[in-house]
Amino acid sequence: MKSEEEIEELLKKAVVAGLDGLDFVGTFPVGTICREYNGIGPEWAGAAIREKTTAWLSLFEPAALIHDMRNYRSDGSRHGFNYANMEFHENCLKLADHAYPWWNWRRYRARVVAHALYDFVRGEGGWKAWQDCYQRNRRENDIANW
């Protein structure tokens, strides 16, 4: 779990890079974001794998934070799932472009990684994570009354 200071730093990076979804994330208290943000990777992958993946892909952490909050409020629909994943993809591309100038080869490597991450989140593992969050919401918050 990230500290409030670490979350605030990720949010600052998201603002500077012009990421989408910050208005949505801004509706949550920092404590909720700290609790729900689990790094890069699905909950079912386990903490050790997510910790390593997050370290390797730290450039994309602000996008993952926004994506995790979308999952936190999963409505279980395919439309919501697709929206969250497209936003994640666009945010990862923005982070790649923000981190490196157009002439730097690292920018294009980071963009390839962004595409690979998108392929992962929109796949069956991502759908399982989306549905797991939805089921948790139904149990904990009676989402049917939203």
pLDDT in tens, 35-82: 999 999 888 888 999 999 999 999 999 999 999 999 999 999 999 999
For residue 42, the model assigns a pLDDT of: 82
% residues pLDDT > 70 (the chain):
97
Sequence ranges of the domains in the chain: 4-145
Residue in 9, 38, 4, 33 with CA at minimum distance from that of residue 132: 38
For residue 4, the model assigns a pLDDT of: 95
The dihedral built from the CA positions of residue 44, 50, 56 and 59, taken in this order, carries a sign that is: positive
For residue 142, the model assigns a pLDDT of: 61
For 39-76, letters b (16+ CB in 10 Å) and e give: bbbbbeeeeeebeebbeebebbbbbbbbbbbbbbbbbe
pTM score, two decimals?
Answer: 0.93
Average pLDDT of the chain to the nearest whole number: 94
For residue 105, CA distances in Å to 92, 93, 94, 100, 109 come to 16, 14, 15, 8, 6
The total of other beta-carbon atoms located within 10 Å of residue 11's CB is 19
Task: Please state, in angstroms and rounded to a whole number, the distance separating the CA atoms of residues 76 and 56.
Answer: 30
